[in-house]
A = this chain, B = another copy of it.
Amino acid sequence: MAESPPDESPLVFEDPAYRDAVVDLLGAVSYGEISAFERLAEDARMAPTLEDKVAIATMASAEFGKVAALHDRIRRLGADPFEAMAPFRDAIDLFHAHTAPSDWFESLIKAYVGDGLANDFYREIAAFLDTETRDLVVASLDDEGHAAFVVDRVRAAIGADPRLAGRLALWGRRLMGEALTQAQRVAAERDALSALLAGGVDRPGLDLAAIGRMFTRITERHAARMEELGLAA
């Protein structure tokens, strides 16, 4: 079905595998938001000034503010949000455990790069969704407004101490590596999500070459973000 009318949602959800995949995706995104909230709130404590603290707490609250709509949608699909999030807790918790920032700048970069990576990944998957779910997922990802604050602080810090750039560039690569490791783990464990990417009789899917191109796009956008921060990708 190359052209989908906007009211296709009820029909497509008659396919239980599709519904399971969407519940999975919404569960993963919402646990990701909750857990981003927690880490950002914790990072706020490292903020050097009250202004910085308020800026990072604003990012934390923005992440958390998206959870209610995602949970509503999961409930309307007849599933329980907390059950839907459960399968993704280990992978997301491990991502955070393996990328605990050791200072304020690592926190800032993690907030910016980690959020960007997650957004890119979910946006790629959203392309395979019905219109209504896609709009919800994309709306839940949209907050580029806070990026300027991070870019400003990191560039100023590197300007003041150029040696910082090497360590922070390494940190960006570590964030990317850990994100890929955990994404792969999730893909291997969650059949419904993988099946979504593989497509169905009436839905387009991805072959191996297309998956490769998808990761290339995600990697390129990561590199562009690192460059904006004044760092080598």
**Complexed CA–CA distance, A57 and B45 (Å):** 16
Asked whether, in the complex, the Cβ of B37 is within 8 Å of the Cβ of A57, the reply is yes
Of A51, A57, A67, the most chain B CB neighbours within 10 A belong to: A57
Contact of A34 among B38, B54, B64, B67 (CB under 8 A): B54
**Complexed CA–CA distance, A38 and B54 (Å):** 10
Question: Which range contains the number of A residues in contact with the other chain?
Answer: 20 to 34
- CB proximity to B under 8 Å, residues A38-92: 38, 41-42, 44-45, 50-51, 53-54, 57-58, 60-61, 64-65, 67, 82, 85-86, 89
- Given the interface pairs A82-B50, A82-B51, the reply to whether A57 lies near B44 with Cβ below 8 Å is no
Asked whether, in the complex, the Cβ of A67 is within 8 Å of the Cβ of B82, the reply is no
- Given the interface pairs A37-B41, A38-B45, A41-B42, the reply to whether A61 lies near B65 with Cβ below 8 Å is yes
Given known contacts A50-B89, A60-B64, what 8 new A-B pairs fall within 8 Å (CB)?
A34-B54, A37-B61, A38-B44, A38-B57, A41-B41, A41-B42, A50-B82, A54-B67
Can you name 19 A-B residue pairings with CB atoms under 8 Å? A34-B50, A34-B53, A34-B54, A37-B41, A37-B61, A38-B44, A38-B45, A38-B53, A41-B41, A41-B42, A41-B60, A50-B82, A50-B85, A50-B86, A50-B89, A60-B61, A61-B61, A61-B64, A65-B65
